[in-house]
Amino acid sequence: MLRKLKSGPWPMFMLSSFSSVANLYLPIFLARTLSPEQMGVYKIFFLYLGAIPFLFLAGGPLNSVYYWAGKPQQERDLYLQQCFLLALLLSLGIMLIGLPLTTEIANFTNLKDTSIYYLLFGAFVAVPSSFYSETKVALGHTVKGPLFDTFFESLKVLCFVLLAIYTKDIQNLFIGFCAIFAVKFLISTTLKFKGGHVTLLPNKVRLKEIWLYCLPISLSGLVTFATDKIDQFVLSAYLAADQFAFYSMGCLVVPPLYLIEMSVSRVLIPKLASTDQSESRSKREYFKTAISDTAVIIIPAFFGLWIFSEQIVTLLYTDKFIESAKFLKVFAFSYLIFLIPYDAIPRATGKTKAIFNLALIFGILSVGLVSIAAINFSAIEVLIVSLIFKFFSRFAGLIYSSRVMKWKIKDMIPWQPLFKITITCIFLHTLCSSTRHLFKSDMTWFYFCAPSFAILYFVILARKFKQKG
């Protein structure tokens, strides 16, 4: 068990989880410190901060470093240099196009003009400032890269807490965010320049090659982001502010769970992309291991969110937001989607156009039907429609991956580990539910059963690892 934790994606996951836990605490604190109106501005700001880099396709070159890191060493550095240059140029487009349209963007987003300046700057530095950590991970340094990100994410949380306490002004939070990420951008660029992975001199041949590879990734990322967030964009226009707050807080209550898929994929893709013949025979096993590694965290997390949804919402946001629990109970199913590394094989084999095609098809269908659902049905039904299309798109990606690798789908799934993990969770779920009547209050039951669920699960899991090895 200990050896497994020291290898693969686990160091990266644990470090990233630290900063995610801090980010999980942040809205809990801010909801108790800032006004509802300020929390609304906060959520809108960071919703669009996440969207803008996708809109300018800036994330594609950054994500493609995992593919180029698998190239022979003499070629690898040049590819990584040009990846950074392309990401920087695309990010500059955010400022060049956005600044003349500040007033229009403010009207569209319902943010102040001054907030737009912070928004554009934050979106500009977001991708280039992550280049150091991403290349470190791609090159096999699964501690240094995440540690760099974890430090700045933790610094951001600390800064937000202090500014909220002493100023209670949402604009100061945005200023603090821009200052921290400006420093991160400068340090990241300096470190990668010294490492030989940063240049401002274009190589037209390599830039074109990288652009052709990452363009489908960038476009699919844009479509995927729109698909993932379309329910929030649409519902924000149809729901009252308090109802939208219930919805959004129910859907975003456990951010650390997003990290496990990212951590596993970032380790998996270089292995699948390797041309080493000795590794090629093991690629299917790498793929199956990625699924089982993800399942170790995701499946029990789903059961925990399902069982304790009301108690989790009450604990995090007080009983004022208890209505968010019904959305959390449904949203918990979205984490099961992460079990399928749908784009790992296309990215590793250079077939990134397929990623975009799948994302576009399901994205258009999702946007259309979610919009129709928002007009005609309740918010909970909109969420269900959104999740259905996310499941369909993942499964379609799995089918395509099986055809690329000429594998049977049934042989790509680690059935035995998934079965054992699920059965264990069902047993613990039944045990927890059956004891609910023994406690004076639901919160007392939660405080006892939730830790017991986690401890018993990992004890059982550790015994299985011990028996296995």
pLDDT of residue 2: 44
Is residue 352 a contact partner of residue 404, using CB atoms and an 8 Å limit?
no
Write the pLDDT tens digit of every residue in 59-75.
788 777 777 766 767 77
Q: What are phi and psi of 455, to 5 degrees?
A: -65, -50
pLDDT at 14 over 70: no
* Tokens of residue 124, six digits: 């500009």
pTM for the full predicted model? 0.68
In angstroms, the Cα distances linking 115 to 107, 154, 157, 176, 443 are 12, 23, 19, 12, 39
Note whether residue 277 is domain-resident. yes
Q: How far apart are CA 426 and CA 333, in angstroms?
A: 15
Look at 127-136, 259-268, 429-438 and tell me which has the smallest mean pLDDT: 259-268
Write the pLDDT tens digit of every residue in 73-120.
777 777 888 888 888 899 999 999 999 999 888 887 777 888 899 999
Residue that terminates a domain, selected from 149, 170, 202: 202
pLDDT at 281 over 70: no
pLDDT at 313 over 90: no
Look at 17-26, 364-373, 384-393, 444-453 and tell me which has the smallest mean pLDDT: 17-26
pLDDT of residue 279: 56
Is residue 345 a contact partner of residue 291, using CB atoms and an 8 Å limit?
no
Residue 72: half-sphere exposure toward Cβ, Cα within 13 Å:
2
First and final C-alpha spacing in the chain = 9
> Do residues 195 and 246 both lie within one domain?
no
> Do residues 110 and 59 both lie within one domain?
yes
> Do residues 14 and 107 both lie within one domain?
yes
* Tokens of residue 271, six digits: 């292995």
What domain range includes position 248?
A: 212-469
Most confident of 16-30, 249-263, 382-396: 382-396
pLDDT of residue 468: 53
pLDDT of residue 347: 79
> Do residues 1 and 137 both lie within one domain?
yes
> Do residues 249 and 282 both lie within one domain?
yes
Please work out, in degrees rounded to the nearest 5, the angle formed at the alpha carbon of residue 359 by the alpha carbons of 212 and 221: 60
The band of 1, judged by pLDDT with boundaries at 50, 70 and 90, is very low
Residue that terminates a domain, selected from 179, 202, 225: 202
pLDDT of residue 5: 47
Residue that terminates a domain, selected from 183, 202, 221: 202
Note whether residue 266 is domain-resident. yes
Give mean pLDDT, residues 302-327. Answer: 87
> Do residues 178 and 250 both lie within one domain?
no
* Tokens of residue 290, six digits: 């990625």
pLDDT of residue 256: 64
pLDDT at 321 over 70: yes
pLDDT of residue 105: 87
Write the pLDDT tens digit of every residue in 150-195.
888 888 988 999 999 988 888 999 999 999 999 999 998 888 777 6
Note whether residue 64 is domain-resident. yes
Q: How many domains does the chain have?
A: 2
> Do residues 129 and 267 both lie within one domain?
no
Residue showing tokens 């990668």: 192
285 vs 101 pLDDT, higher one: 101
Note whether residue 126 is domain-resident. yes
In one-letter notation, the amino acid at residue 66 is Y
In angstroms, the Cα distances linking 181 to 88, 161, 178, 189 are 15, 16, 5, 12
pLDDT of residue 303: 92
Q: How far apart are CA 144 and CA 338, in angstroms?
A: 25
Note whether residue 207 is domain-resident. no
Write the pLDDT tens digit of every residue in 385-418.
888 888 888 888 888 888 888 888 888 888 988 8
The band of 462, judged by pLDDT with boundaries at 50, 70 and 90, is low
Residue showing tokens 């909220």: 164
> Do residues 196 and 151 both lie within one domain?
yes
pLDDT of residue 72: 67
The band of 16, judged by pLDDT with boundaries at 50, 70 and 90, is low
> Do residues 18 and 124 both lie within one domain?
yes
pLDDT of residue 8: 53
Write the pLDDT tens digit of every residue in 208-234.
888 888 887 788 778 777 777 888 877
| Mean of pLDDT over the chain | 81
> Do residues 176 and 254 both lie within one domain?
no
Write the pLDDT tens digit of every residue in 40-56.
778 788 888 988 888 88
> Do residues 187 and 238 both lie within one domain?
no
pLDDT of residue 464: 60
Q: Please give, one letter per residue, the 3-state secondary structure of the chain.
A: CHHHHCCCCHHHHHHHHHHHHHHHHHHHHHHHHCCHHHHHHHHHHHHHHHHHHHHCCCHHHHHCHHHHCCCCHHHHHHHHHHHHHHHHHHHHHHHHHHHHHHHHHHHHHCCCHHHHHHHHHHHHHHCHHHHHHHHHHHCCCCCHHHHHHHHHHHHHHHHHHHHHHHCCCHHHHHHHHHHHHHHHHHHHHHHHHHCCCCCCCCCHHHHHHHHHHHHHHHHHHHHHHHHHHHHHHHHHHHCCHHHHHHHHHHHCCCCCHHHHHHHHHHHHHHHHHCCCHHHHCCHHHHHHHHHHHHHHHHHHHHHHHHHCHHHHHHHHHCHHHCCHHHHHHHHHHHHHHHHCCCCHHHHHCCCHHHHHHHHHHHHHHHHHHHHHHHHHCCHHHHHHHHHHHHHHHHHHHHHHHHHHHCCCHHHHCCHHHHHHHHHHHHHHHHHHHHCHHHCCCHHHHHHHHHHHHHHHHHHHHHHHHHHHC
> Do residues 111 and 243 both lie within one domain?
no
pLDDT of residue 469: 46
Percent share of the chain, pLDDT over 70: 87
